[in-house]
Every structure is written in structure tokens, then in C-alpha cells.
Amino acid sequence: MTKADKILDFMADVHFDGKLPDGIDIMNPYRESADIRAICFAFYNKFYSDQQDRTLILGINPGRLGAGATGIPFTDTKRLNDKCGVPWSGISTHEPSSAFMYEMIDAYGGPEVFYRRFYINSVCPLGFVKVIGDKRPVNYNYYDEPKLEEAVRPLIIENIQRQIAIAGRSDVCFCLGSGKNFKYLNNLNEKSGFFGRVVALEHPRFIMQYRQKSKENYVADYLSKFSQYP
């Protein structure tokens, strides 16, 4: 099986049957949309149709406008078309995190070079939304509420094991998010020994929201840390 086969099999299978805290809904883009399944088929067969091992990069969990719209972590529909060459004519989405990631990917050498070495997924493979008052649903993270983290912990552990099996490397894992996501993943790794080392990278959303004027420095930081673990 190619890496693409393994990734697509995972997406077809991943699900959550547990009970979530009140007011929180799960988002499973791979089962909710035939369009997303078609996008994923095209993307992963384009960049992962081989058996070469990759280094894992783990984000938090899918968001509505990135992986929630395309099935591909940190890839909105704009970057899917313009950067990845995977045509999509449906609803257009723009996610700042995706904009940063593809600036970094371009600096690395472009999508073909980047995805030949790295495989991006999430600590929790499924996303969450929460309705606050009478407002529209907002993205929610697995660590935003202790009861939610407790409910999805078995899913998280199983997911990390499956992502390692797909990627083929476990000497290092890059964690997107130097705060809560890194603390959680690093603590889990100390208990379970999934990876030789977990290396924190600042989260693209934080960079674009609070440090956009310094984003070139963050791109350089990503590339520097990647170069330390060839």
C-alpha cells in the first residue's frame, strides 16, 4: 500500500462513538461530505503515492475553514487550487493559518518537496464546534474543556498510534502550537513513549493573529528546526 492508500483508509474509518459534553458537536469532514472525500483522494494521491517514510507534524484538531472544508490539515480551498494544483470550484474558503503554512511551504521548496518529507495531521483527528448563546458555531479545541479532553482521550491515543504507523517515523514529531497543544502532547509522550522527541512550533493561527509583522521570523524558525532533524 502507498502512503496515500493508508491515509485514505484512515479517513474512511476514523469516527467517535462516545458522549460529548453538552453543547459541543463533533465535526467529521471525511464522513460528512462526498466533495471532501474527492478532494482528499486527489490531494493524497498526488503527493503521497509512494511508500517513503515521513516526519509527522501534529496540529490541534480540524477547524471549520481549513481541514473542515477540504479534509486536508492547514489547507483551505484557496491554497488547494493555487498552491497544490488540486482544482476545486465549490465554496471558497480563506484561513489565515493556511496562508502562513503555505508561505512556509513555499520557502521550504514548494508543496511537492515539503509533502515528500512531512505528513500533517492532528493530535485529535476530528474537530469540534460549540454554540455560545445565540451565535453561530465556533471552533472548539479538544483541550478547551476538561470533560471534552477526557471524553476524546482514547480517540487521541489511538489516533497518534495510527498516524505513526502511516508516517513511518517516530524519532521526532513537530507540534503545531507551543502552548496547550505542546504541553498536552509532550506530557502524553512522556507517559506513552510515542516519539523520541516532540518539538514545538508556534501555531500558525497565533502568528497570523498576533505576530503577523514577524511572520518571516517564524518561517525561518520552522525551517531551522526542520533542518535539525533531517
CATH number at residue 10: 3.40.470.10
Q: Which residues contact 110 (CB under 8 A, 6 or more apart)?
A: none
Q: Are the C-beta atoms of 123 and 198 separated by less than 8 Å? A: no
Secondary structure (3-state) at 145 = coil
Q: Are the C-beta atoms of 46 and 86 separated by less than 8 Å? A: yes
pLDDT at res. 64 = 72
pLDDT of 199 over the 70 cut:
yes
Rounded CA-CA distance 104/211 in Å is 15
- 55-64, 106-115, 151-160, range with the lowest pLDDT: 55-64
pLDDT for 47-102, tens place per residue?
999 999 999 999 999 877 667 778 899 999 899 999 999 988 877 788 899 999 99
Secondary structure (3-state) at 47 = helix
Please tell me the total count of domains within the chain.
1
Q: Which residues contact 36 (CB under 8 A, 6 or more apart)?
A: 29, 30, 69, 70, 71
pLDDT for 200-226, tens place per residue?
999 999 999 999 999 999 999 999 999
pLDDT at res. 66 = 65
Residue 152 structural domain: 3-227
Average pLDDT of the residues of the chain: 93
Q: Are the C-beta atoms of 62 and 127 separated by less than 8 Å? A: yes
